[in-house]
Structure 1
Amino acid sequence: MKLYSTNNTAASVSFKEAVFNSMPQDKGLYMPVNIPQLDPEFISNLDKYTLPEIAFRVAKNLLGDAVPEADLKALIEDAINFDAPVVELEEDVYVLELFHGPSLAFKDFGARFMSRIMSYFLEAGEKQLDVLVATSGDTGGAVALGFLGVPNTRVTILYPKGKVSGIQEQQLTTNGQNIRALEVEGTFDDCQSLVKQAFTDAELNAEFRLTSANSINIARLVPQTFYYFNAYAQLLRQGKSKVVFAVPSGNFGNIGAGLLAWKMGLPIEQFIAATNANDTVPAFLKTGVYEPKPSVQTISNAMDVGNPSNWVRIADLFKEDTEALKKLIIGYSYDDAETVTAIEQVYDDYQYVVCPHTAIAWQALKDWQIRNSENDAAGVFLSTAHPCKFPDVIPARVASKIVVPEVVKELEGKAKQAVELSTDFADFKAYLLANK
């Protein structure tokens, strides 16, 4: 597998180099030189395969000879050892539950795959790998659990102070071992900016072997394609062959992975990008003008991103064909009041509890279906996190119905370990150099 930078299509690097470098020095993002099509017969018979079997076939198709087949199969079976069921709520309305991994969020797919790929590529005697990750909530917890105890790696998580839920903060700050947490006096965009600056700082790159576990790393995007193929497999078993996906969208890595699956041949009729008040992309899809803006805090905190990094990848997939992009992707955005209403409506209609991000995706799907009533495609909205992570923003009558998993109960009483940090890059750099 060869990859190029979105800022320089002329040069290419190996998958291993892209995984470890995370972001090119020219500040672009890595994209595959070639996105091979999967065999149409395989896609039409997806219902005959398990999730690990689908994941292996998709990964092998993308990665080529970057990892030997036997090793790749073993790696996937270890990383993707939990389910991602599609649950029917009503006719042509399905929820794809992506919260059955150890951190109870869809980020487990990317974090577990990435940690194992990095560990696989690390050779004895090599310099320690320092993984930097900015999080708006769920990424940090998934990365922490994905890398916890992995030899010769150290993870530094940056999260915005006061802008993640209590359970999310516990998952970020109670691990110890090779996991460090930095509580930043700012927004997720500030955290992301600090990480990006670190990758282009000559002194830090000379001192450390830096990489990222954010969705800017291509190793995060590849495994996220797996659940789109697997969702389609489950629909085929129910006699459904047309599908629309509504995706809660913040940094746009999730929907970016879906588009990569589409590019590989998965027959997806429509993508619905569902955002909160941070509506940079929905606004672009309506006006044709892309204007990043400072993020605002909402109750769907994992989507509080005003300048989504992965949008450059999506634009790159379509090159200059903006009309084709706007035809395949439609955007909807909702404020906090609308999000709370959606949480209550989902419970009233189905006796099903959703997190705020999932509620936004459901509302977007329902609004799209009303406007496209002649379309008989199965509508699937992605549930990106377990609702137990957001008890304070879910209405009390609904929150009381949440069944809290044992892994969350085990966090109670654990001591928080976090260092406070300003948004000044000089302070972040000084911290890293002082804590080698």
Structure 2
Amino acid sequence: MNLYNLKDIKEKVNFTQAIKLGLGKKQGLFFPEIIPKISKKKIKKLINKNFITRSQKILSMFIGSEIKKKTINSSIQSSFSFPGPKISYIKKNIACCELFHGPTLAFKDYGARFMAQILSLLNTEKKSITILTATSGDTGAAVAHAFYKMKNIRVVVLYPKGKISTIQRKLFCTLGKNITTISVDGNFDECQKLVKKAFNDSDIREYTQLNSANSINISRLLAQICYFFEIFHLVPKDLHNKIVISVPCGNFGNLTAGLIAKSMGLPVKKFILSTNSNNTVPRYLKTGIWNPYKTISTISNAMDISRPNNWPRVQEILKKNKWKINKHLEYGSVSEKSTKKHLKELFQKFNYISEPHASIAYTLLKKSLEKKNLYGIFLGTAHPIKFQETVEKILQIKLKIPNSASNYINLKELSYSIKPSFHLLKKILIKK
């Protein structure tokens, strides 16, 4: 598998190099030179296979002969060794695909665990590696747990102080060992800016063997492709030519993976790009002007991102396929008031307990399906307990805490606390 840098197309790397580097020159994202195409006949056969077997075949198409097929299969088996996606049927033409049944109760378990397995496998010289990442909510826990106690790998996670939920925080700020967490007095975009600056610092890169575990790393992105195929395995076959998928979007990794799956031949009619009030992309698609506003704090905090890193990849897919936006991709943003309203609607009308991010995807999906003979799936990207305070307050109920989260509630948090200062971050990263 060969990839090129979206900011410097002369820089070309293979799969293993892309994983180790994370980012290319000029902080450019790596993108596959060729997206594998699968015939309709083979797509049907692939959909009939179980999740693990199918994922092994899909990822092998990208990785090719760089890593032995037996090794890839073993890594995928280990990566996805938890309950897979589930479909919850809401009403006649709408269902939720729940991606939150993994160890940290969020969809990011898929990509983070696959990346951990592959990076550990590729570290044949047993060098000390530092994984540096920023989180707007769920990435932190998924990455921390995926790499927890792995030899020769240190994980450093930055998160915006006071802007992620208690359970989100507890799941990764209490681990210690090879996991370092840093509370930054700012928003997610400021955390991400510090991460990018670190990747441009030669001292840090040389001292730490730096890598990233955000969805900018191609290994995480490829793993996410797999559950879009699983949706078609789980829903009845007579719906396969009617499916519209609404994706709650923050950093746009999930949407990128879905569009790659569609590029491969998965017969998704259309995707819906769903954002909260941080609506840089919907505004851009409407006006043609890229004008990120200051990030707004919302109850859907994992989507509080004004400068989504994966957007260039989405643009590249649209360009490569010569897809017109309105035919293949709808878009919209949802207010706080509407997010709460539809969270209540899901509970009161359909007895379904959801959370703010999924509510946003549901809101735009419901609107899109009016008077159309289509079937809508909205992605449930995190367990409602991850947003316990918010969900309980809006729905006036008490949520039961799953065992996978309750084990961390009373543990002490071990985070550093800093201003959004690169100097302070650098001191922590090269601390001996």
- 2:108 maps to 107
Query: What is the distance in 1 between the residues matched to 2:44 and 2:283?
Result: 35
The residue that corresponds to 2:391 in the other structure is 394
Letter matched to residue 191 of structure 2: C
In the TM superposition, 1:230-241 aligns within 5 A as 230-237=230-237, 239-241=239-241
Which AA in structure 2 matches 1:200? N
Shift in Å, 1:397: 6.7
Deviation sequence 1:134-182 (CA, Å, 0-9, x none): 0000000111111101111000000000000000110121011110100
- Greater shift, 327-336 or 400-409, is seen at 400-409
Partner of 1:66: 66
Deviation at 1:109, TM superposition (A): 0.6
After superposing the two structures, state which structure 1 stretch, 297-306 or 341-350, moved more: 341-350
What amino acid is aligned across from residue 393 of structure 2 in structure 1? Answer: A
Q: Deviations over 1:190-235 (max 9, x none)?
A: 0111111111111111212000000111011001001101101222
The secondary structure found in structure 2 opposite 1:346 is helix
Residue 326 of structure 1: how far off its partner (Å): 4.2
SS in 2 for 1:319: helix
Gaps of 5+ in 2: none
Q: CA deviation at 1:396?
A: 3.4
Q: 1:426: Cα distance to partner?
A: 1.9
Q: Is the 8 A contact 2:16 2:66 kept in 1?
A: yes
1:46–1:232 Cα contact (<8 Å) kept: no
Query: What secondary structure is seen at the aligned counterpart in 1 of 2:26?
Result: coil
Q: CA deviation at 1:383?
A: 0.2
User: Counterparts of 2:164 and 2:393 in 1: how far apart (Å)?
Assistant: 19
Aligned residues of 2:11 and 2:24 also touching (Cα < 8 A)? no
Q: Which residue of 2 aligns with 1:40?
A: 40
| Equivalent position amino acid for 2:425 in 1 | F
Give aligned-pair identity as a percent: 36
Partner in structure 2 of residue 307 of structure 1? 307
376, 380, 385: which one aligns with 2:377: 380
Q: 2:405 aligns with which of 402, 405, 408?
A: 408
- Alignment partners' CA distance in 2, 1:42 and 1:322: 23
Summarize the Cα distance change of 1:71–1:323 in structure 2 as closer, same or farther, 3 Å threshold: closer
Deviates more, 1:134-143 or 1:319-328: 319-328
Q: CA deviation at 1:401?
A: 5.2
Aligned counterparts of 1:31 and 1:320: Cα–Cα separation in 2: 11
CA contact (8 A) 2:113 2:146 kept: yes
Identify which range, 132-141 or 281-290, moves more after superposition. Answer: 281-290
Q: How does 1:341-360 map to 2 (within 5 A)?
A: 341-360=341-360
TM-score (norm 1): 0.95
1:431 corresponds to 2:432: no
Aligned length: 431
Deviation (angstroms), 1:293: 2.5
**Structure 1 residue 421: Cα displacement:** 1.3
Q: Tell me if structure 2 keeps the 8 A contact 1:343–1:354.
A: yes
Shift of 1:336: 1.3
d(CA) in 1 for partners of 2:308, 2:393: 32
Superposed displacement of residue 368, structure 1: 0.7
Distance in 2 (alpha carbons) for counterparts of 1:384 and 1:283: 24
Whether the 8 Å contact between 2:246 and 2:361 is mirrored in structure 1 is yes
Shift of 1:288: 2.3
| Cα distance between partner residues in 2 of 1:111 and 1:86 | 22
Structure 2 counterpart of 1:168 = 168
| 8 A Cα contact 1:365 1:381, kept in partner | yes
Q: 1:223 corresponds to which residue?
A: 223
CA distance in 2, matches of 1:318, 1:229: 20
CA shift in 2, pair 1:216/1:186, >3 Å? same
Match of 1:197 in 2: 197
Runs of 4 or more above 4 Å deviation? 236-239, 320-323
Q: Mean Cα displacement is larger for which, 127-136 or 32-41? A: 32-41
CA-to-aligned-CA distance 1:70-119 (integer Å, 9 cap, x gap): 11111111111221012221112010000000000000011010100101
**Deviation at 1:338?**
1.2
Unaligned segments of structure 1, at least 5 residues:
none
The letter of the residue matching 1:127 is K
8 Å contact kept, 2:141–2:171: yes
Confirm or deny: 8 A CA contact 2:163 2:297 kept in the other structure: yes
2:154 aligned counterpart, secondary structure: strand
Secondary structure of 2:102's counterpart equals coil
SS in 2 for 1:225: helix
Over 3 Å counting, the alpha-carbon distance change for 1:219 and 1:415 in structure 2 is same
Between the aligned partners of 1:37 and 1:428, the Cα distance in structure 2 is 43
Matched AA of 1:266: L
Residues in 2 aligned to 1:199 and 1:263: alpha-carbon distance in whole angstroms: 31
Q: Structure 2: how far apart are the matches of 1:66 and 1:294? A: 42
Whole-Å Cα distance in 2 between the matches of residues 329 and 47 of structure 1?
Answer: 23
SS in 1 for 2:295: coil
Residue type at the aligned position of 1:57: K
Q: Which amino acid aligns with 1:149?
A: K
**Paired position in structure 2 for 1:269:** 269
SS in structure 2 of the partner of residue 391 of structure 1: helix
Q: Which residue of 2 aligns with 1:88?
A: 89
1:145-164 residue pairs with structure 2 within 5 A? 145-164=145-164
C-alpha contact (below 8 Å) 1:158/1:183 kept by paired residues? yes
Alignment CA distance shift 1:237-1:323 (3 Å): closer
Q: Give the C-alpha shift of residue 400 in structure 1.
A: 2.1
Q: Is the 8 A contact 1:282 1:330 kept in 2?
A: no
Equivalence for 2:27: 27
